[in-house]
Amino acid sequence: MKSKRWVLITGGAHRLGREIAFAFTNAGWNILCHYRTSKDGAQATQKAIHDLGGSCQLVDMDLSKGNAAENLMNRCVELTGKAPQCIVNNASIFEADDAPSATAEALQTHFQINTATPLLLANALYNHLRGAADVTNGEHCVIHVLDQKVHNLNPDYFSYTVSKLALERSVALQAQALAPTVRVCGLSPGLLYLSGPQTQSNFDRASVVNLIQKRIEPTDVAMCALFMAQNTSINGCTLRADNGQHLIPLSRDVMWAIEEAEDR
Ligand SMILES: NC(=O)c1ccc[n+]([C@@H]2O[C@H](COP(=O)([O-])OP(=O)(O)OC[C@H]3O[C@@H](n4cnc5c(N)ncnc54)[C@H](OP(=O)(O)O)[C@@H]3O)[C@@H](O)[C@H]2O)c1
């Protein structure tokens, strides 16, 4: 019998979102793979899931719009006939700035996509479930994907960091507010993929700056999301999946910190 559990993964076409989609597929979940511009990537993820014997529906939405969360939830309900059992708020923007150069536009755009829409998607799930007859407490879950940076602060990527800090501080607040219907958890990966202005050589060196001195496996991070979705005792807390990167304090983002250390 096909699983009745659906997970919505935002930004599911590539990279961590795609890994999370495979982790849930392999555990028997059906996938709602959200994308914005990456239609080809989303279709490739869908095909790979179908090849594994899973189910995957695609849903596109620009998450920078104020009404995106409500609209996305409505589209998911239209596609599957009910609200998803889990939402993984994985989509995000990550644009380079620092504290003195941050602009109102950068702060607001990061806040809308990385903070407001994830929080409002959790609310939209809660609102759909309230009053529904067949809801079991604890079975629905929202996972906000954060970053080890929020546990290991420096002022680089300032707008991004501020947006993820606000989301991280909201995990416990939302868990309290949406109980007993929806659990809310955080997941903080360390450096996983080459991003923005980073070179491959810089990434190769930066990605082993953690206590284990090895690259963090995206599949391990994805398995943490699955674990939190399925373990109904976990609520209001954040799991750090970063090989201990958050325990290596740096005064700058690791991308610049290693260049500066090597120049000395
Ligand atoms: N990459 C890392 O090393 C790292 C480290 C720590 C934490 N994280 C966190 O882990 C998560 C995944 O990271 P990632 O590097 O895999 O993500 P990513 O590739 O930078 O972005 C994931 C997706 O977000 C979607 N997105 C961006 N702006 C959007 C918008 N306005 N509306 C809708 N979708 C939008 C994009 O979808 P489309 O392509 O379809 O447009 C993109 O594919 C993020 O939350 C990130 O903060 C990542």
CB of 95 within 6 A of ligand 1: the answer is no
Query: What pLDDT, on the 0 to 100 scale, is given for residue 133?
Result: 83
Q: Where are the domains of the chain?
A: 6-193+217-243
Q: Among 57, 1, 26, which residue's Cα sits nearest to residue 225?
A: 26
Q: Among 55, 215, 223, 229, which residue's Cα sits nearest to residue 142?
A: 229
CB of 187 within 6 A of ligand 1: the answer is no
Binning the chain into helix, strand and coil, the percentages to the nearest 5 are: 45, 15, 40
DSSP of 160-175: HHHHHHHHHHHHHHHH
How far does residue 20's CA lie from ligand 1's centre (Å)?
12
The best mutation among 8, 10, 16, 208 to test binding of ligand 1, ranked by most ligand atoms within 8 Å of the C-beta, falls on 16
Q: How many helices (H) and strands (E) does the chain have?
A: 9, 7
How far does residue 254's CA lie from ligand 1's centre (Å)?
19
CB of 143 within 6 A of ligand 1: the answer is no
Nearest CA to ligand 1 atom 19: 15
Query: What pLDDT, on the 0 to 100 scale, is given for residue 263?
Result: 76
How far does residue 133's CA lie from ligand 1's centre (Å)?
35
CB of 215 within 6 A of ligand 1: the answer is no
Query: What pLDDT, on the 0 to 100 scale, is given for residue 132?
Result: 87
CB of 21 within 6 A of ligand 1: the answer is no
Query: What pLDDT, on the 0 to 100 scale, is given for residue 224?
Result: 98
Q: What pLDDT, in 10s, does the model give residues 78-134?
A: 999 999 999 999 999 999 999 999 999 999 999 999 999 999 999 999 999 997 888
Query: What pLDDT, on the 0 to 100 scale, is given for residue 3?
Result: 67
List the 140-145 sheet strands across, edge first.
Answer: 56-60, 30-35, 6-9, 86-89, 140-145, 182-189, 238-241
How far does residue 34's CA lie from ligand 1's centre (Å)?
11
**Architecture of the domain spanning 6-193+217-243:** 3-Layer(aba) Sandwich (3.40)
Sign of dihedral through CA atoms 230, 231, 232, 235? negative
Other beta carbons less than 10 A from residue 186's beta carbon:
27
How far does residue 64's CA lie from ligand 1's centre (Å)?
13
Query: What pLDDT, on the 0 to 100 scale, is given for residue 261?
Result: 80
How far does residue 91's CA lie from ligand 1's centre (Å)?
4
Nearest-angstrom CA–CA distance, 138 and 224: 17
Task: Tell me the average confidence (pLDDT) per consecutive run of 10 residues in the chain, 264 residues long.
Answer: 84 98 98 98 98 98 97 98 98 96 98 98 97 90 98 97 98 98 98 94 97 98 98 98 98 92 76
The structure tokens listed for 136 are 């079991």
Tell if the pTM clears 0.85, that is, is over it: yes
CB of 115 within 6 A of ligand 1: the answer is no
Query: What pLDDT, on the 0 to 100 scale, is given for residue 2?
Result: 55
Query: What pLDDT, on the 0 to 100 scale, is given for residue 1?
Result: 42
Please give the angle made by the CA atoms of 13, 18 and 20, to the nearest 5 degrees. Answer: 140
CB of 108 within 6 A of ligand 1: the answer is no
Q: Among 165, 135, 158, which residue's Cα sits nearest to residue 238?
A: 165
Please name the amino acid found at residue 231: N
9 neighbors 33 (Cβ within 8 angstroms): yes
Tell me, what DSSP letter sits at residue 216? Answer: P
Can you tell me which atom of ligand 1 is nearest the CA of 62? 32
